[in-house]
Structure 1
């Protein structure tokens, strides 16, 4: 199925700027439409409705909230002009719990594109790509800050263990893999016993030239995938997010969390 309708989350961070540029580049390449969305909470540390809060204090709180949103809108406008999308790309503003808003919105698009998280992000516009991938039911591409969307790449990569989440990542990324024309299937340690040849045949029938690279279980999964990507510089790494529980991943510092925090290329998450 073609990717025709893309949603990009924009919160003014360097990561979201990279995500916007990536979405624009993808839309141009695939002939798709892009919608930008700024999701934010009300940015209140205290309840402005309390009778103990003076009118002046309420005004200051409201001004602080408005100022933050205005700065984000100004940065979006600058990027929109630089991309030459002034007449075709608008910024939707939606208030609520950020991850919930974006998860619900993403269900109406083919894909959500977001920037990687940063400790410098304002807490009221901060999003969590892994949670959104779990909640939305849609693929999420996480673009690291500073990533060059126009860089030349030769192929993509697919992390494969034969599990349900990996199969979903394959399905969600297939249009992009077809566009790249080449994919490296990366397996580390134990995987489903079903022959890998069937996956390679499936990719070839979609016009994708595939090669398989395998490492034994003595290799740490995240470190191995990241080292391979650093060496070969693919356009995308597609992975199945949280094949086990997210609590277990968070508690143990799992593969998904590790890759998202360290990747220098876009990562497609599916669950």
Structure 2
């Protein structure tokens, strides 16, 4: 998939600032358009006071919220270091933070979003990466609060479990993988001949796109799959982890924990997820 149209969620939070910095690097690397997006719900103050507020107070609250959004727009351009123009754009959408971003995302090649760092003060402005990955239909690149030195280097790890989400992630990441000189194809579990054969088929497919991938099978032991994957990323000093999202249901992962939630919440490198 060619990356020519990038959407980055920005709320002014620490993680969203990192997402914008990475988005600019990707914009320049892929000669792409970049759109900053602020999606928002009514603030807690607005929701709490709405049944009791006079028209005058409602107008004051509304003006204050608009001023806040204007300040976030200004901050976005400052963090990006570029003015709005032919390839830099800004969009705002009210209603529900997550669903508004999901709808916007469907007309972009990739969505960048910071790891969730919402607080009581800003949670009406901060979208949830897991919800966007699950429902937008687009690849989502989740960015940690601090960008590592390895970001956008020439190394990547592709997690492979043979599922449809992993296949979708691989396809969505082809443009990214094509720019890497070292791609590790990792499967967690038994190192039997069948698993190796599956990884070799993945490597053969990537080779048709000019991408060289090396298979690596890692025993799970008592560690979680997410922990194993992140250890592989660290071992290879990779700048990105690519994986399928929610092969189990999100409800299952929310209740019992799972690879997707663990990876996006604790990764120190950007994680590209597709569902």
User: TM-score, normalised on structure 2?
Assistant: 0.89
SS of 1:214 mapped into structure 2: strand
| Structure 2 counterpart of 1:177 | 177
1:137 to 1:7, Cα distance in 2 relative to 1, 3 A: same
| Structure 2 counterpart of 1:267 | 271
| Structure 1 counterpart of 2:23 | 23
1:153-191 CA distances to partner (integer Å, 9 max, x unpaired)?
A: 231110101111111111111110011132101111169
Alpha-carbon deviation of 1:86? 4.3
| Structure 2 counterpart of 1:245 | 249
Matched, 1:9 2:9: yes
| Structure 2 counterpart of 1:109 | 108
| Structure 2 counterpart of 1:226 | 230
Alpha-carbon deviation of 1:71? 3.0
Whole-angstrom CA distance in 1 between matches of 2:2 and 2:56 = 53
1:64-100 CA distances to partner (integer Å, 9 max, x unpaired)?
A: 42343233123113123x2x34434232111111111
| Structure 2 counterpart of 1:100 | 99
1:200 to 1:102, Cα distance in 2 relative to 1, 3 A: same
| Structure 1 counterpart of 2:68 | 68
| Structure 2 counterpart of 1:144 | 144
Residue correspondences, number: 267
| Structure 2 counterpart of 1:46 | 48
User: TM-score, normalised on structure 1?
Assistant: 0.90
Structure 2 gaps of 5+ residues are none
Whole-angstrom CA distance in 1 between matches of 2:152 and 2:3 = 20
Note the aligned Cα RMSD (angstroms). Answer: 2.1
Whole-angstrom CA distance in 2 between matches of 1:269 and 1:18 = 17
Which of the numbers 198, 206, 210 marks the counterpart of 1:207? 210
